[in-house]
Amino acid sequence: MKEFKFVNRTSELQTLEKLYNQPGFQFVPIYGRRRVGKTRLIKEFIRNKKAIYFLSDSIPQTQQLKNLGQSVGEFFNDVILMQNGFTSWDQFFVYINEKAQRQRIIFVIDEFPYLVIANSAIATIFQKGIDEYLKRTELFLVLMGSSIGMMEKEVLHYKAPLYGRRTASIEVKEMNLLSIHEMFPDKSFSDVIRLYAIFGTIPAYLEKINPRKDVFSIIKDSILEKYSFLYNEVDFILREEFREPHNYFVILKSIALGKHKLSEIVNDTGFEKTMVSRYLDILRSLHIIKKEIPITENNPEKSKGIYKLYDKYFNFWFKF
């Protein structure tokens, strides 16, 4: 299937370009839920620029360093590094420090949370690397992650080791409704609304759509077909994000079936109230659910409110 036109990321690109054109070291964490278009955004930004893009994986640190060295070696045509890779993070920082002294180089590490899983001290290691080797270079460092909670804990929170080192941060959110029309200019307004109700404005979902098909055929082929990309998407995201995906699944199903108050969800699931409250807070931080509070509420923070599914595709998947 052809690649869709890149749409709706003007402000994010402008921010990145502005920072790129400023002299000196730049560090920009980019985060957002899975499938929201972070990788497509950064690849548009680095197009026709001197850039290294490295995708982390759920493998041991020694293999991560070797793969990282191979990527860096390919960029600089360093045969020895391509063969051996890096053996330590210090070696990586020293090498990049030398190469980025007088030239602007973009270095993107995608799925940074996988590095955290491989080494819980990685944020502290990068803090030291920035302070001792990188901050006096022309490097443009981008750390990306889909695990919002982990990115906040390791990079963005004021207690995080890397807090204070960033020059900007970008949360990539869903596109606006008009983006669907830009992607599918031949669709009627009513079809655009239907697509929005099913998929929201998540680029990875919309790009799976065959624009020549009607909405009901799209549902059949893209969601109901057993081997389609979206058939097990909810299960996949829950397994990727959570240690106890089944519990989150039960809570989300309860909300989808009309249990919106905390007490209703507790009674329906049979889980402890404190456990449900904690899970709901995590689901809210990932923008999978939302909490609605009456406008007349004097103390919104302590209001019980009601919980609803915020993610359009999750909502459709659980209900239908």
For the chain, list the domains and their CATH numbers: 10-171 (3.40.50.300), 178-224 (no CATH), 233-319 (1.10.10.10)
Instruction: Tell me how far apart the alpha carbons of residues 66 and 63 are, in angstroms, rounded to a whole number.
Output: 5
Query: What pLDDT does residue 3 have?
Result: 59
Residues contacting residue 110 through CB under 8 Å, at least 6 positions apart:
38, 39, 42, 53, 54, 55, 56, 144
Do 286 and 33 contact (CB within 8 A), yes or no? yes
Burial of residue 110, with CB atoms counted within 10 A of its CB: 0-12 exposed, 13-18 middle, 19 or more buried: buried
Structure tokens at 64: 């991560």
Answer yes or no: pTM beyond 0.85: yes
Do 64 and 175 contact (CB within 8 A), yes or no? no
Query: What pLDDT does residue 29 have?
Result: 95
Three-state SS at 141: strand
Do 106 and 52 contact (CB within 8 A), yes or no? yes
Structure tokens at 8: 């709706």
Instruction: Please state, in angstroms and as integers, the Cα–Cα distance from residue 120 to each residue in 73, 147, 184, 223, following that order.
Output: 26, 15, 43, 37
Residue 171: strand pairing partners: 31
Rounded to a whole number of angstroms, the distance between the first and last alpha carbons of the chain is 27
Three-state SS at 54: strand
Which residues in the chain come in under a pLDDT of 70? 1-5, 298-303
